[in-house]
Amino acid sequence: MSDLSKNVLPSNRGKKQKIRKSNKRKLSSTNWIKRQINDPYVIEANKLGYKSRAAFKLLQINEKYNFLKPNRKVIDLGCAPGGWLQVAVQKVRSTENEVKVIGVDILPVDNIPGSKTFIGDINDSAIDKKLIDFLGDYPDIILSDMAANVIGHKQTDHLRTTQLIEIALDFTLKNLKKNGTFLVKTFKGGTETELLNIMKKKFNYVKNIKPLASRPESVESYTVCLDLKG
């Protein structure tokens, strides 16, 4: 896999591809396929060997805040399919002999050299212990790109999303090293006021950011929390 650390924007700007119409395929499925095959981030991710276009989101956020530095230890919450793990491994220079990047998800993840993944729920205290025991220390960085499956009911989707943010923040406040970094997926308007206030009390710097790789029509954004207080 190529190193994209110096190129956080896709190079592909080719002619749009068309797909054949099918009576068996729903319009929503056709539109999704059309968007995927013409998405420059999807094309570039495939070319460079990234598990998903989400790798570009982390690359772009890190380009601005530069928290993924060599030798820092990282835990990625909700790590499937592994795009963020790949970026973290590159940036902190994690190796098979000295793994500094680990991830956890309820879904299995293909092996990514330089990382270790666990199947489990971060609400389970046994998983907490397993992650920290494997690292041999508390992490310097905790990442969360977790998102709830939407059902189309705005209030329900909002509550599910907020709950995931709360779970990730709770895990972070229990396990992140002092002066550490927390990056979490949020949504339009940022997190709930209560959660955002907690972040601002616990970290010296808190900022919402929407990377270019996040689709313009998407309500997602990210909250970067730097320098955890003692």
Q: What is the pLDDT of residue 161?
A: 82
Per-state percent for the chain, helix, strand, coil, to nearest 5:
35, 20, 45
Are 44 and 61 contained in the same domain?
no
CATH number of the domain where residue 107 is located: 3.40.50.150
Is 26 considered catalytic here? no
Please indicate, yes or no, whether residues 36 and 125 belong to a single structural domain of this protein: no
Is residue 200 located within the same domain as residue 97? Answer: yes
The owner of tokens 């997602």 is 220
Asked if residue 134 and residue 23 are part of one domain, the reply reads no
Do 44 and 58 have their domain in common?
no
Specify which residues 60 forms β-bridges with: none
Pair 42, 80 in one domain: no
Listed residues 48, 66, 85: the one ending a domain? 48
Residue 93 is which amino acid? R
Identify whether residues 137 and 84 lie together within a single domain: yes
User: Does residue 7 fall inside a structural domain?
Assistant: no
Residues 108, 36, single domain; the answer is no
Say which residues have a Cβ less than 8 Å from residue 210's Cβ, sequence separation at least 6.
220, 221, 222
Residues 40 and 76 in one domain: no
Range of the domain at 24: 19-48
Q: Is residue 14 part of a domain?
A: no
* One domain, residues 155 and 41: no
Query: Is 12 inside a domain boundary?
Result: no
**Number of structural domains, the chain?**
2
Output the CA–CA distances (angstroms, integers) from residue 17 to 33, 45, 176, 215, in the order listed.
Answer: 10, 17, 45, 19
Which entry of 18, 185, 200, 201 is annotated as an active-site residue?
A: 185
Whether the bond into 108 is cis, omega within 30 of 0: no
* Domain end among 29, 48, 67: 48
pLDDT tens across the length of the chain (230 residues): 444 344 566 655 544 444 444 455 454 443 434 444 566 888 888 888 899 999 999 999 999 999 999 999 999 999 999 999 999 999 999 999 999 999 999 999 999 999 999 999 998 989 999 999 999 999 999 999 998 776 666 677 778 888 999 999 999 999 999 999 999 998 765 567 889 999 999 999 999 999 999 888 788 899 999 999 98
- pLDDT value at residue 9: 60
Same domain flag for 37 and 149: no
- Is 10 part of a structural domain of the chain? no
Do 26 and 132 belong together in one domain?
Answer: no
For the whole model, what pTM was predicted?
0.84
